[in-house]
C-alpha cells in the first residue's frame, strides 16, 4: 500500500490507517481477525487508546509475531504525571510491546487541559522521559477544538495532531492543514465517516485521499468495510460529476445538523454534556450496547432530559445548530432504543 510521511516523526505509514474503537464490540476472535485482515491488506498504522476498553489488548494479540514495520499509536486521557505513567505502563502491557511509536494526549479540549499536558513537571515531562528510555518514540495530541488544535501545532511540542476531518467537517482543509504543513506536524484524520453518519464510503474517502499528506483512521468493525476502503484507495480517486453532486447534497442535508464536538457551546446552564448527547448516535454504532445504555451516556441523557431550553448554547454554536431541538430528539431516540435493548436482554 502507498505510504506517506507522518510529519516530523519521519515515520512512513500506510496512506490508510486503522481506528481501534469498534473492535470493542466484537468477540475477541473476530476482533483479532479484523486487525489481521487489515495487516494483510497492507495497513501499517494502527490507532487505539487506553480508554477503548479491550481494544489495545486485542490489537496486541493480533500483531503478535508481526510487530516489525507497524506504527502503533495509542493515547491517554490522564492529565497528571502519575496518571500518564500508569496509563503508559498499561498500554505497553496490553499491546505486548516494548515501545509505542506514537503516544498521544487524548481529547485535549480547552486551554486548561493543554496547560496541564504541557506542565514541565507533569504529563509532557513523563513522556519525554519515556522517549529517552525508548518506551515512546513520538508524542502527539488529539483534539476536537480548532482553537486548541492550532495552539498545539504552533507550540511545536507535538509531532502529530489528530483532528476530525471529512467532507462535512471540512474546515481543517483551510484552517489546520496549512498550519501542520508549516510546522511539519503529522496530520491524522479521525472521523473520516463523520462518526458513522456518512454511509457513502466512496465519496468520503475520495475526498480525503485527495490530500497527499494525511492519514485517515476509519474505525473498522467488519472485514468487508476495510476491503471496500482499500479498493477505493487503489481505484480511480477522482470524483465523478455525480459523486461531486452527491457530496454537495449530503453537505446541504447534514451540515446544518452535524455536531463537530468543538465544545464552543459550553458551559450549559444545567451542566448537560451537550456533545455527548448530540453525538450519541455515533457512540451507539461503535460502543458495546451494555456500555451505551449505562454509565457516561446514560448519565448524559438523564441530564439532557432537564434541558430548560434557555438557548444560551445555541448563541455560542459557530455552526448554528438547533441544539435544543436536537437534544430533545436524541433523548426520545435514546429512551426508545434503551426500551428495545432491555426487552431483548430480558427475553
From 38-46, 169-177, 191-199, 269-277, span contacting ligand SF4 (CB under 6 A) = 269-277
Choose between 234 and 312: whose C-beta lies nearer to ligand SF4: 312
Q: Helix H segments across 67-145?
A: 81-95, 111-118, 123-132
Q: Are the CB atoms for 38 and 220 separated by under 8 Å?
A: yes
Q: Does 256 bind ligand SF4 (CB under 6 A)?
A: no
Place of cell 474517502: 205
Find the shortest distance in angstroms from Cβ 211 to ligand SF4.
Answer: 22
What is the C-alpha end-to-end distance of the chain, expressed in Å?
47
Asked if 264 touches ligand SF4 (CB under 6 A), the answer is: yes
Q: d(Cα 184, Cα 84) in Å, to the nearest integer?
A: 26
Of 319, 328, 333, 338, the one binding ligand SF4 by CB under 6 A: 319
Does position 290 interact with ligand SF4 (CB under 6 A)? The reply is no
Q: How far apart are CA 293 and CA 313, in angstroms?
A: 25
283: contact with ligand SF4 by CB under 6 A = no
Of 185 and 278, the one with the shorter C-beta distance to ligand SF4 is 278
CB 203 within 8 A of CB 250: yes
- Quick check: 308 binds ligand SF4 (CB under 6 A)? yes
From the list 44-52, 86-94, 203-211, 258-266, the region that binds ligand SF4 by CB under 6 A is: 258-266
- 328 scored as a contact of ligand SF4 (CB under 6 A): no
> Of 180, 39, 11, 19, which Cα lies nearest the Cα of 102?
11
Q: Pick the piece of the chain touching ligand SF4 (CB under 6 A) from 92-100, 188-196, 224-232, 272-280.
A: 272-280
Q: Does 300 bind ligand SF4 (CB under 6 A)?
A: no
Comparing CB distances to ligand SF4, the nearer of 92 and 321 is: 321
Contacts of 283 (CB under 8 A, 6+ apart): 276, 292, 297
Task: Name which position in 46, 226, 247, 262 contacts ligand SF4 (CB under 6 A).
Answer: 262
Handedness of CA 323, 325, 327, 329 (dihedral sign): negative
* 57: contact with ligand SF4 by CB under 6 A: no
Does residue 254 touch ligand SF4 according to CB under 6 A? no
In whole angstroms, give the CA distance from residue 116 to residue 81: 10
CB 59 within 8 A of CB 47: no
Strands (E), 217-320: none
Q: Does 331 bind ligand SF4 (CB under 6 A)?
A: no
Which residues are near ligand SF4 by CB under 6 A?
259-265, 268-270, 272, 274-275, 278, 307-313, 317, 319, 321, 323-324, 327
Amino acid at each position: 500500500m502507498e505510504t506517506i510521511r507522518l510529519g516530523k516523526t519521519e515515520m512512513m505509514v500506510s496512506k490508510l490507517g486503522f481506528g481501534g474503537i469498534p473492535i470493542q464490540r466484537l468477540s475477541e476472535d473476530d476482533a483479532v481477525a479484523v486487525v489481521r485482515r487489515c495487516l494483510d491488506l497492507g495497513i501499517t498504522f494502527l490507532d487505539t487508546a487506553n480508554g477503548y476498553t479491550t481494544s489495545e489488548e486485542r490489537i496486541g494479540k493480533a500483531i503478535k509475531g508481526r510487530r516489525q514495520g507497524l506504527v502503533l499509536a495509542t493515547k491517554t486521557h490522564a492529565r497528571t504525571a502519575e496518571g500518564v505513567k500508569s496509563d503508559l505502563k498499561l498500554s505497553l502491557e496490553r499491546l505486548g510491546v516494548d515501545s509505542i511509536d506514537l503516544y498521544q494526549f487524548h481529547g485535549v479540549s480547552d486551554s486548561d487541559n493543554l496547560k496541564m499536558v504541557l506542565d514541565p513537571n507533569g504529563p509532557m515531562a513523563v513522556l519525554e522521559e519515556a522517549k529517552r528510555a525508548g518506551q515512546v518514540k513520538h508524542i502527539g495530541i488529539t483534539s476536537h477544538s480548532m482553537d486548541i488544535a492550532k495552539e498545539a501545532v504552533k507550540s511545536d511540542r507535538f509531532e502529530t495532531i489528530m483532528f476530525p476531518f471529512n467532507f462535512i467537517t471540512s474546515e481543517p482543509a483551510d484552517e489546520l492543514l496549512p498550519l501542520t504543513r508549516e510546522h511539519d506536524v503529522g496530520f491524522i484524520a479521525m472521523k473520516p465517516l463523520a462518526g458513522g453518519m456518512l454511509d457513502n464510503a466512496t465519496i468520503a474517502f475520495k475526498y480525503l485521499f485527495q490530500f497527499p499528506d494525511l492519514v485517515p483512521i476509519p474505525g473498522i468493525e467488519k472485514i468487508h468495510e476495510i476491503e471496500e476502503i482499500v479498493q477505493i484507495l487503489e481505484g480511480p480517486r477522482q470524483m465523478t460529476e455525480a459523486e461531486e453532486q452527491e457530496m454537495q447534497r449530503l453537505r446541504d442535508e447534514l451540515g446544518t445538523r452535524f455536531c463537530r464536538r468543538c465544545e464552543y457551546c459550553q458551559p450549559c446552564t444545567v451542566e448537560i454534556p451537550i456533545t455527548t448527547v448530540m453525538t450519541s448516535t455515533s457512540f451507539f454504532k461503535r460502543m458495546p450496547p451494555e456500555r451505551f445504555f449505562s454509565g457516561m451516556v446514560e448519565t448524559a441523557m438523564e441530564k439532557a432530559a432537564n434541558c430548560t431550553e434557555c438557548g444560551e448554547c445555541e448563541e455560542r454554536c459557530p455552526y448554528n445548530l438547533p441544539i435544543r431541538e436536537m437534544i430533545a430528539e436524541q433523548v426520545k431516540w435514546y429512551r426508545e432504543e434503551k426500551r428495545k435493548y432491555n426487552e431483548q436482554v430480558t427475553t
